[in-house]
Amino acid sequence: MKKLFITLMLLPLLGLAQTIENIDYISPFHDGVAAIKKGNEWGFIDLDGKIIIDFRDDLVLTKNDDTSYPIFSNERCLITLQKEGVHYYGYIDKTGKTIITPQFLNASNFEGNKALALKVEKETIGYNHIFKKDVVSYHYFEVVIDMEGKPIEHLTQLAIHVSPKDKNDKNPPIISSRLISDKLIAIKGSNSKWRIKKIDQQ
């Protein structure tokens, strides 16, 4: 009788545990999960409506139709982290664990087991004695990365310079290349002409 009483007492609580309220936006499902928004933060629910990633403010939004929301693609979701005024991009898995540390100036969602990213290199070019800080310059290359974030193909041979005065711009540098199949990538040249390159299978 005591066990039955405890069970009856718990049933309403269990029912409440499945209810998520005061949500501002619910996205369509991608990769088995849907993004949910509350205020300025986003989280994810699974197909059973269970929150698998709690609300956080570092998820990167992907434009879909007339709106934008974070998505998972091949078990990876983009995140951003600001360090020294520069926004870096990385990825988490469906547990919310950081799988690829934010290190790129920009990155795309995964398509299959590959994604595009801007691999950044920071160079100290001087010292500002007035502000007592290093003067730095940033260069980046377009690369193809694997599921662990390792560059597997360089798409630009020459480094592209990023002026330090622009590093606080909220918009990241644009990735001009495009994955057009699992093996092929379209690379846009400085003359606005395209070339197609075959990617080594990984």
Which of 41, 201, 191 has the alpha carbon at shortest distance from 114?
Answer: 201
Confidence of residue 192 (pLDDT cuts 50, 70, 90): confident
Q: Give the tens place of pLDDT for each residue, 107-132.
A: 999 999 999 999 988 778 888 888 88
Taking the C-alpha atoms of residue 87 and residue 172, their distance in angstroms, rounded to an integer, is 8
Taking the C-alpha atoms of residue 135 and residue 144, their distance in angstroms, rounded to an integer, is 29
pLDDT at 5: 41
pLDDT at 147: 96
Which of 121, 71, 63 has the alpha carbon at shortest distance from 91?
Answer: 71
Residue with tokens 């990167």: 60
Residue 134 and residue 182 in contact, taking contact as beta carbons nearer than 8 Å: no
Confidence of residue 10 (pLDDT cuts 50, 70, 90): very low
Per the model's pLDDT, the better-predicted residue between 166 and 71 turns out to be 71
Taking the C-alpha atoms of residue 78 and residue 85, their distance in angstroms, rounded to an integer, is 19
Which of 75, 38, 31 has the alpha carbon at shortest distance from 57?
Answer: 38
| HEC profile of the chain | CHHHHHHHHHHHHHHHHCCCCCCCEEEEEECCEEEEEECCEEEEECCCCCEEEEEECCECCEEECCEEECCCECCEEEEEEEECCEEEEEEECCCCCEEEEEEEEEECCCECCEEEEEEEEEEEEEEECCCCEEEEEEEEEEEEECCCCCEEEECCCCCEEECHHHCCCCCCCCCCCEECCCCEEEEECCCCCEEEEECCCC
Confidence of residue 158 (pLDDT cuts 50, 70, 90): low
- Percent of the chain predicted with pLDDT > 70: 83
Residue 148 and residue 137 in contact, taking contact as beta carbons nearer than 8 Å: no
Taking the C-alpha atoms of residue 185 and residue 115, their distance in angstroms, rounded to an integer, is 11
Q: Give the tens place of pLDDT for each residue, 67-94.
A: 999 999 999 999 999 987 889 999 999 9
What mean pLDDT, rounded, does the chain reach? Answer: 85
pLDDT at 133: 85
Per the model's pLDDT, the better-predicted residue between 17 and 83 turns out to be 83
Q: Over 60: is that where the pLDDT of 8 sits?
A: no
Q: Over 90: is that where the pLDDT of 31 sits?
A: yes
Confidence of residue 11 (pLDDT cuts 50, 70, 90): very low
